[in-house]
Amino acid sequence: MRQDITSLTMKSTDPGQYASVNGLQLYYEVHGVPHGKVPLVLLHGGVGGIAMFGPNLGTLAQGRRIIAVELQGHGRTADIDRPIRYEHMADDIAALLASLEIERADIMGYSLGGGVALQTAIRHPEKVRRLVVVSRQFKSSGFFPDLQAAFEHMGPETGAPLEHSPLAQMYPRVNWRTLFAKIGEMERAKYDWSADVAKLSMPVLLVFADADSITPAHMIEFWQLLGGGLRDAGLDGSLRPAGRELAVVPGTTHYNVLATDAVARLAIPFLDSP
């Protein structure tokens, strides 16, 4: 798993900025065009950083302003004396938008960042215009069982090998042992956000790899929670849930679904639609 994560990273050459939010010095980068469309916030996966989005960032930035964030304890955002929780990080994103005087934004999150994106939409719906969730489940049982079992043993010793990896050279401020311990603790907690997901009112795009860490049954359950999965969606499409879309990227896994700009090319029509 660590090798797969490391292979996704490419060093960013764009200078970022820091915002003081909720006791954090939250690192973010601004890409793309400064005005026009609603800004898009990008939230990376666990253990990595902004570079996980690979070529998707550049493709998305061709027509909109991108605010790419590195979450608590990740990348260039130093950890603080606070557990890593989806809810806390969602509040950080809401606070960042407030500090940037952005009333509403589109949000795209991948894996761990997808959980943060979901919680941002749940806890701060007034700030989220459209939501893109990539390779993320809405309850802990959505992972394949062997991955759930791996979280039971995730702790400081799991992160120790990364102290001498390319990721450590890229992100020298990260305490890998602490990061793995905190993520392991978070993922061992059982959660089920189904009731909150069913209440989401903004347009939502779900994107999965066809060989994901999330079970196909859970993908369909997620889609059905949003109103999808009806036979033929009616001959005239009238049964299709408004503003809700599902995509599966062929020939990809959880760890390389962002290796090309396929996700961006799926997301752009969704973000630009009326």
pLDDT in tens, 23-67: 999 999 999 998 878 999 999 999 999 999 999 999 999 999 999
Closest C-alpha among 105, 84, 81 to residue 93? 105
Taking only the tens place, the pLDDT of each residue in 250-260 is 999 999 999 99
Q: Does the pLDDT of residue 10 top 60, yes or no?
A: no
Task: Output the six-digit token pair for 229.
Answer: 């999965």
| CA 240 vs CA 85, 94, 143, 154, 194: distances in Å | 34, 30, 27, 41, 20
Q: Cβ atoms within 10 A of the Cβ of 33, count?
A: 12
| Coil/strand/helix, residue 29 | strand
Domain boundaries, given as residue ranges, for the chain = 2-141+190-272
Across the range 192-220, mean pLDDT stands at 98
Q: Does the pLDDT of residue 11 top 70, yes or no?
A: no
pLDDT tier for residue 240 given thresholds of 50, 70 and 90: confident
The answer to whether the pTM exceeds 0.85 is yes
pLDDT tier for residue 190 given thresholds of 50, 70 and 90: very high
List, as own/partner pairs, every contact residues 269-272 make where C-beta atoms lie below 8 angstroms and the sequence separation is at least 24, other chains included: 270/130, 270/132, 270/203, 270/205, 270/245, 271/37, 271/38, 271/40, 271/64, 271/106, 271/130, 271/132, 272/37, 272/63
Q: What CATH number does domain 2-141+190-272 carry, 3.40.50.1820, 3.40.50.720, 2.70.70.10, 3.40.718.10?
A: 3.40.50.1820
Q: Does the pLDDT of residue 12 top 50, yes or no?
A: no
Q: Does the pLDDT of residue 187 top 80, yes or no?
A: yes
- As a whole number, the mean pLDDT across the chain is 93
Taking only the tens place, the pLDDT of each residue in 76-96 is 999 999 999 999 999 999 999
